[in-house]
Chains A and B, each alone.
Chain A
Amino acid sequence: MAQRNPIESGVPDNKQYLHPTLLKNYGNWKTHDRPRPGVLHHVAHSGDEVWSVRAGTQRQMDVHTIRKLCDIADTYAEGHVRFTIRSNIEFMVSDPNKVAPLINALEESGFPVGGTGNSVSMIAHTQGWLHCDIPGTDASGVVKALMDELYDEFRREEMPNRVHLSTSCCEINCGGQADIAIIVQHTKPPKINHDLVANVCERPAVVARCPVAAIRPALVNGKPSLEVDEKKCICCGACYPPCPPMQINDPEHSKLAIWVGGKNSNARGKPTFMKMVASGLPNNPPRWTEVAEVVKRILHVYKNDARSWERLSDWIDRIGWPRFFEKCDLPFTKYLIDDWRGSRASLNASTHIRF
């Protein structure tokens, strides 16, 4: 049978999928407001208006769930939807009378309406045990467990500013920067299966991957393999993807860390990277309760203590790190003082101290 050549069409044109009001007013919007949590109301310079109703999804969706969302789009909205970067779905309607029935239909079908403005939005996440080849933990399950706990905060807009969360199943951090991020933190060097290294791994490439030059070629039991200087090893797991026999994931010793204060927007201060504030949390499926407890605690303190429009990083800029750790009842351990390259820039080179 002759093989079919692919059509290298690349990125499809989105014009064919746009809601007609969006297409008509493309590039010509004037302002927006939020009549209630989960609803955006945009007004164009032409006077046209559009209401977008945002709902949370589980991201990894079965076709029945997607068809249900399509049914809702056809019955209660106008057949056009889009997804946000945080896997929320938005339904656009040109008639405000359609908003309430659409919200009812979504919530009755189990899709929470919210995720707008100063809410805790859906967690950006990764693949985890479901599909990844190097995961230290699950992704969808962690997210489901945590969003169950944050359900009300998704549906309300009661935080000082928006809150973005992410989870990542290894230190590559595919989940990305966020106000609060949960990331696997390995605590032991890789366990090497020396029988497999020679056949599976391109050894010079693996040596080159190590950020601290802790890996070197070695002959083990007469076979070419690799060895790790465990005093140098920082347990990052960078060697594991190119060399699966260097098993970094450990049911007991792969822990979870919490990072805070990442912000990609340029609003107010420049964008910031998140900082590690807790680690050593157990990787406990199916609901990761120890992790959820710390995340909820930080969110609770932030909610009560931050001023309006302060993102988590802005809030900490005002109150300072000592008070952050104190208020959140988190221990400030020596592992939180950076010693990687450029780390002196993170030290306090001033007498700016809050008493």
Chain B
Amino acid sequence: MKAAGILLAIVLALALQTTIARYVARGTIAVDLVLVVVVYVALMSGSVAGLLTGTVAGLIQDSLSTGLIGIGGLAKSIVGYVAGIVGTQFIVTQPLPRFLVFFVATIAHQAITIGLSVVLGERPFGIPYAAIAGEALANAVVGVAAFQLMELLPGAVERRRMGKSRLRR
């Protein structure tokens, strides 16, 4: 059930990424919704879930991109695993620590991707510092917002249920 939910989240993130992201984020600001899902799952469910989510999500994303298949998968696996460890070892329940985790995870993801591209002999390209910073910022904002939303939603539903039951009495 949980695996199906994660898979659904990945598919949803990919759908949003390919349809809405280009309208929302333009120029140097980009957002990687799939990475947001990977880090979210890692923080919520631990390093193994993060690793597996990163592998699956990264490979799907790679297969839909023009680069080598596996680079993104490996990068997301590592990021998911490390984010899972961070989630279990540190208290990341407040927006600021979560923001930092998403921010650093994006930078680490980019560093691994660029490093792997260089190691595998892909055509060298300059490190787009501004683009990476923009993406890290966007991912962090979206990630924190996703956490807040997911935490608010069950509470809102519960409150509504309570309100209805009070009215009946």
A, B in one complex: no
Binding site for A on B (CB under 8 A): none
